[in-house]
Structure 1
């Protein structure tokens, strides 16, 4: 019988996984389960349900379990290995984040991308690596889920949320159907946050046969030989333009409203633990000032993504080219711009995402009750009332929603917005790689504290009922009788 030996890569991963197990053991992790079990009519109630198994959802799930909150489940509508944007609508070649960032590792060195990579390919390959290929980042997240044995269930879609006494009822369809009761709900829904993609008004009446959002599933092969317009100068604009060009598009124009391309990624210049932990505690006016300045200066596309476009002779960057209107014309599109009329066969709108959660039927019960920044936190003297910012939810310290009218929807205090929509309130800790571990820590500390407070009577009763002695009674001699004799004499 031939003996099968492990490949160096698998042997390296096995050693890394053993190291991770030892580190967890030394740190006494996961913590022992401590949340009292609950049931309704004999049906168990979840302590936490997480919606979304992308990077943020996995980090939140892992941190909950490590903290001893184990009666949880995470649902994702995508098949296993396709969660998040990395191998779906993210069309860049590599991540823009530095390869050395610890990301969702939660303070555990063996859980970092670097540890995973070097365990398989070695330190020389790590030194040679420039940026992380996006598909390889997805491979790492798949391993992250596997090595921590996270309770993720795929092909399950959330279709509704409602109040059920002091619990939250969520309706599901797909591989798991029916209603699940939970005490806390975490929405780790990524870039789309709560609303989905943002479409400019000038596109809303145009047949979708002629345009797509950059986050749509796009048949780029069907664009071969055609003239394409792409709106914007951000990363997704470049990535979609490049993908169209590489698929054989006849010509691609980037329609850029700005007179100059943004060139400086301002927030990277002040990146620090101070920003990570301090942003959430700033006065509202300062939060707005940071967000407004970042929006005004705009994050530039990565250099590599821009070169990926400009190396094609049939690509054009049309600056100072604002769009006035778009209409269907002769089997294509007529776009009126500040530079004159332009004709295209197809348009890709790389116009970002919206926090307008009223457009999501699964959040219908919640939407009208959720307080946003426009409902009091934003004041006109802060700066321009940017729609993307005033729509942002006004969140509590553990990413929990707050009621527009107190008492109108109590379950909002138990629903946590751990996605990109939280950025204005909490900073960039629930959507990007650099600070996701800090965000998960903040989220879970808040959930743990609220669950403990909610069950305080049970915990106190357990304190009173605990009767396991540490002393057996034979560790000392009672000298009181001798003292009485001495006193009598």
Structure 2
């Protein structure tokens, strides 16, 4: 690729190639679902909550099936997902070669987008994908796939009904509206069925939003306010390193990272599990194997990336503490006293890098159906030593990522809500959020929904089959022969 073809011109050429690829693949199959209205209101076939990479991939996979989706996202346009807001890593952990949400289309990959603008040599020199560049790619992905995203639409309630529809209330700049959909997909990310995990020792200590001195690593926080301060970080995973590195680069006087573990894990077992066989076969594994694999990865813990760790350790005022289980946190004036198994720390600000928890209380918009969702804790009893709260609380999903009822008949329509976010991992494997297998998950979701919608409308489609009358032949393509001239009389 010559320099003259790079930049905007190169991107325009790539978009032309992508458009031709979609045309030759007949990607956007013709619409085949009957239009539906309820009390004068249009019914959406598939409504996706969340327009980050999972929602966009699901929308594009549905388009291949001839199904148009509408995506609702609470963020302003082009700020969907965590990449440009709460994420603080310098680069993605995933190898640059992974195709992510491209759904098998070479011209839709990050690599194609990158090389079109900066060339092959720049690609060869690239180590890991910068976080904000990945966000730029997703913005481009949204535009070229013509995803129907409604920005600044905050979902306030999701109500399944017994008549084949789901009601979704949303607050938008134009006001409140209720959408009706045949299927709803929750593409709500890492904390899709919960929120930040706040340890019990923080009870009674005011959050920064309320004038306190602590925040969770997933909170929106102006790290410039930490300049000159003694900062504590509880945890030593990826988000801990990203938060610590950002604080140090913002001028923190010191950063102490506190871990209860005796040593930092060094092997990413999750990466070791990422083979196509597991991606395609996890859902059909026996329960014991599903649990065993996911629990092993959880128990081993995923180490922070090499680069993220060096980002912190290169600072002389960064301190790594192991075997320091936190016992209590108390505020003393404008300081926090953090008591651990190995002594007491004094901080001006504390960051909890303690991950996320499945907790429906964090998602009041799901309250109409949350009590009825069947979990793995109600499906499976693990072996001694394999207890795992995250897995226990994970939803027990059907083959199309659909929720299932705890008590049959107690919540009609629940199965019309599909959980395409991180908590689906125990049921389906990591195909609904992480970059490596997001296309596999999106295709599974889209093809499954297409089959469900066809089955529901089979009478309509049979009637359409019966009424189909487009002739293949006009009747003048042949001349009837004089059979008597070509045969002998029967005896």
How much does 1:488 deviate? 7.0
Structure 1 residues 450, 480: closer, same or farther in 2, change over 3 A? Answer: farther
Is 1:17 the counterpart of 2:15? The answer is: yes
Any residues of structure 2 matched to 1:23-34 within 5 Å, and which?
A: 23-34=21-32
How much does 1:396 deviate? 0.6
Aligned to 1:264: 267
Any residues of structure 2 matched to 1:205-284 within 5 Å, and which?
A: 205-208=204-207, 209-284=212-287
How much does 1:89 deviate? 0.9
**3-state SS of paired residue (1:87):** coil
How much does 1:479 deviate? 3.6
Aligned to 2:409: 407
Aligned to 2:90: 93
How much does 1:226 deviate? 1.2
**3-state SS of paired residue (1:368):** helix
Query: Is residue 160–residue 416 contact of structure 2 (8 Å, CA) maintained in 1?
Result: no
Alpha-carbon deviations, 1:294-353, whole Å to 9, x = none? 111110000110011111111100011100111112322111100012211111111111
- Mean Cα displacement is larger for which, 329-338 or 49-58? 329-338
**3-state SS of paired residue (2:489):** helix
Aligned to 1:143: 140
TM-score after normalising by structure 2: 0.95
Query: Which of 103, 106, 112 is the matching residue for 1:106?
Result: 103
Unaligned 5+ segments in structure 2 are none
How much does 1:14 deviate? 1.2
Query: Is residue 70–residue 148 contact of structure 2 (8 Å, CA) maintained in 1?
Result: yes
**3-state SS of paired residue (1:152):** strand
Aligned to 2:34: 36
Query: Which of 472, 475, 479 is the matching residue for 1:473?
Result: 475
Query: Is residue 6–residue 119 contact of structure 2 (8 Å, CA) maintained in 1?
Result: no
User: How many residue pairs were aligned?
Assistant: 482
Any residues of structure 2 matched to 1:214-363 within 5 Å, and which?
A: 214-363=217-366
Aligned to 1:3: none
Aligned to 1:427: 429
**3-state SS of paired residue (1:309):** helix
Structure 1 residues 480, 334: closer, same or farther in 2, change over 3 A? Answer: farther
Q: Distance in 2 between matches of 1:310 and 1:465?
A: 71
**3-state SS of paired residue (1:192):** coil
Alpha-carbon deviations, 1:381-409, whole Å to 9, x = none? 26432111111111111110000000111
- Mean Cα displacement is larger for which, 340-349 or 441-450? 340-349
Q: Distance in 2 between matches of 1:68 and 1:387?
A: 39
Query: Is residue 206–residue 327 contact of structure 1 (8 Å, CA) maintained in 2?
Result: yes
Q: Distance in 1 between matches of 2:482 and 2:180?
A: 58
Query: Is residue 170–residue 181 contact of structure 1 (8 Å, CA) maintained in 2?
Result: yes
How much does 1:269 deviate? 2.4
Query: Is residue 88–residue 242 contact of structure 2 (8 Å, CA) maintained in 1?
Result: yes
Is 1:182 the counterpart of 2:181? The answer is: yes
Aligned to 1:192: 191
Q: Distance in 2 between matches of 1:331 and 1:358?
A: 30
Q: Distance in 2 between matches of 1:480 and 1:354?
A: 81
Query: Is residue 16–residue 116 contact of structure 1 (8 Å, CA) maintained in 2?
Result: yes
**3-state SS of paired residue (1:178):** strand
Q: Distance in 2 between matches of 1:96 and 1:263?
A: 14
Is 1:366 the counterpart of 2:369? The answer is: yes
Aligned to 2:122: 125
Q: Distance in 1 between matches of 2:5 and 2:98?
A: 27
Query: Is residue 289–residue 382 contact of structure 1 (8 Å, CA) maintained in 2?
Result: no
**3-state SS of paired residue (1:159):** strand
Aligned to 1:438: 440
**3-state SS of paired residue (2:71):** strand
Query: Which of 40, 48, 61 is the matching residue for 2:46?
Result: 48
Q: Distance in 2 between matches of 1:253 and 1:195?
A: 28
How much does 1:194 deviate? 1.0
Structure 1 residues 484, 53: closer, same or farther in 2, change over 3 A? Answer: same
Query: Which of 380, 391, 398 is the matching residue for 1:389?
Result: 391
Q: Distance in 1 between matches of 2:129 and 2:164?
A: 44
How much does 1:484 deviate? 9.9
Any residues of structure 2 matched to 1:65-84 within 5 Å, and which?
A: 65-70=63-68, 72-84=69-81
**3-state SS of paired residue (2:16):** helix
How much does 1:485 deviate? 8.0
Q: Distance in 2 between matches of 1:58 and 1:342?
A: 44
Unaligned 5+ segments in structure 1 are 1-5
Aligned to 1:455: 457
**3-state SS of paired residue (1:380):** coil
Query: Is residue 155–residue 175 contact of structure 1 (8 Å, CA) maintained in 2?
Result: yes
Aligned to 1:57: 55
Structure 1 residues 32, 313: closer, same or farther in 2, change over 3 A? Answer: same
Query: Is residue 358–residue 368 contact of structure 1 (8 Å, CA) maintained in 2?
Result: no
Aligned to 1:417: 419
**3-state SS of paired residue (2:257):** strand
Q: Distance in 2 between matches of 1:362 and 1:483?
A: 80
Q: Distance in 2 between matches of 1:118 and 1:102?
A: 14
Query: Is residue 399–residue 422 contact of structure 1 (8 Å, CA) maintained in 2?
Result: yes
Aligned to 1:155: 152
Query: Is residue 48–residue 72 contact of structure 2 (8 Å, CA) maintained in 1?
Result: yes
Q: Distance in 2 between matches of 1:410 and 1:166?
A: 9
